[in-house]
Amino acid sequence: MRYLVWILRLVVFVVVLLFALKNTGPVDVRFFADHVVTDVPLIVVMLTVFVLGALFGLLITAPVVMRRRREAARLRRELARLEEKYRQQPAAHQEPAVAPETVAPLAPL
């Protein structure tokens, strides 16, 4: 699955790069407050916007990823604590495994 994601990322990047290479003409970039940068190659504008969009997407997903990592670490600690507690119990207190049919026999249909 990891390889498939990287292949998909590579394909998207190559498509954007090829599209940008076909659009290299100079353009005027207008910012707020009537600030204008003239004769910027369109390829620079497109690749800059693509990289900024990718970074913005990563920043948006960062809190969710961090929350899930913290939750996974908490669950691992709890699992280790329960496993240690289970190992410390004497074997005499453990009940033998019982087949489900002996607890509640199956009724004939």
Mean pLDDT comparison of 15-19, 52-56, 96-100, highest-scoring range: 52-56
Residue bearing tokens 């407050």: 33
Share of the chain above pLDDT 70, in %: 82
Share of the chain above pLDDT 90, in %: 42
**pLDDT at residue 80 greater than cutoff 60:** yes
pLDDT bucket at 17, cuts 50 / 70 / 90: confident
User: What is residue 30's three-state secondary structure?
Assistant: strand
pLDDT of residue 33: 85
pLDDT of residue 46: 82
Tell me the pTM: 0.54
| pLDDT tens figures, 35-69 | 898 899 888 888 888 899 999 999 999 999 999 99
Cα–Cα distance for residue pair 50/86, rounded to 1 Å: 53
Give the count of beta carbons closer than 10 Å to the beta carbon of residue 45. 15
pLDDT of residue 11: 95
